[in-house]
Amino acid sequence: MKTIIKRIIEYFGTRSLPDKMEFPKWEKSLSNIQKKINYGFRDLTLLKAALTHKSYLRKKFNDHKVPSPFERMEFLGDSILGFVVSKELFQHYPDEQEGSLSKLKSKIVSETYLTIKANALDLGRFILLSSEELQSGGQNKPSILSDTMEALICAIYLDGGISVASRFVKNYVLTDFEHLVNRIELVNYKSILQEYLQSHNQPAPDYVTIAEEGPQHQKVFVVEVSVNGRKMGKGKGSTKKNAHQEAARLACQKLGI
């Protein structure tokens, strides 16, 4: 583990992040995010790595072939998050079956839920992005916000250990989770529709992307869902996944589920 941390530190030690003219307030913002999460990093380089998006590294240093520390930290942070959430749910719901716990966990570690929590920390304004990503609203994109939350969890773990990372997850991810998981955007309508049709011995729903609207960096996908050849709902979303969910929600509404 020490070798990995050393490599991250060395990677950033050879790069100027960023030019003061380019992002004059970024260094100062690092102290603000530490106050927000009530944790002071012993090695600030780890925090910088978690908040430096791959788009910035690849644009600024042309590092297309080098594995981005951000992506690697996101990978480990995802696993740490999954472990802590599983442990907390296991203890919090001693009488729940595995299936119910798995569904609840999937909501908490989802992109939508993590985006809600990232916005609560105003995390978007602390992320270092390429100018192109910044102009296209990258600081508000769910995929970037949720990935950064995972990278941040990893940074805290590498700097302070599993107990500190667990405390962050409990205090800033799991707070009010019982209320939040019932928000409409966190209900998995695709799963609900699928299970309903299976229980009625009907074939799986068919999802078809019928249109892609808007410019390349702000695409809107239009997806239509059919059940037994009957069109049941048409959903729109910034990703195909979101469009699928909206179409499934309308289908569930029609079926009275």
DSSP string, 168-221: HHHHHTSTTHHHHTTSGGGS-HHHHHHHHHHHTT-PPPEEEEEEEES-GGG-EE
H helix intervals, the chain: 2-13, 26-37, 44-51, 54-61, 69-92, 98-108, 111-120, 131-135, 142-160, 162-172, 177-180, 189-199, 240-255
Please name each of the domains of the chain with its CATH number. 2-186 (1.10.1520.10), 189-255 (3.30.160.20)
* Cα distance between residue 155 and residue 94, in whole Å: 31
Question: pTM, whole model, 2 decimals?
Answer: 0.73
The pLDDT, as a whole number, for residue 90 is 96
Which positions ≥6 away from 91 have C-beta within 8 Å? none
**Which burial class, exposed, middle or buried, applies to 228 when counting CB atoms under 10 A from its CB (0-12, 13-18, 19+)?**
exposed
* Cα distance between residue 8 and residue 91, in whole Å: 35
Neighbours of 180 (CB within 10 A): 17
Q: What letter represents residue 221's amino acid?
A: F
CA dihedral 76, 82, 84, 85 (to 10 degrees): 150
Q: Mind listing the pLDDT tens digit of every residue in the chain (257 residues)?
A: 656 666 666 666 555 665 554 555 777 788 899 999 999 999 988 998 899 888 887 777 665 555 567 788 999 999 999 999 999 999 999 999 998 899 899 889 988 899 999 999 999 999 988 888 888 888 988 889 999 999 999 999 999 999 999 999 999 999 999 888 877 667 788 988 998 999 889 999 999 999 998 887 678 999 999 999 999 999 998 888 889 989 998 999 898 88
Question: How many CA atoms within 13 Å lie on the side-chain side of 128?
Answer: 28
Q: Which residues are catalytic?
A: 78, 150
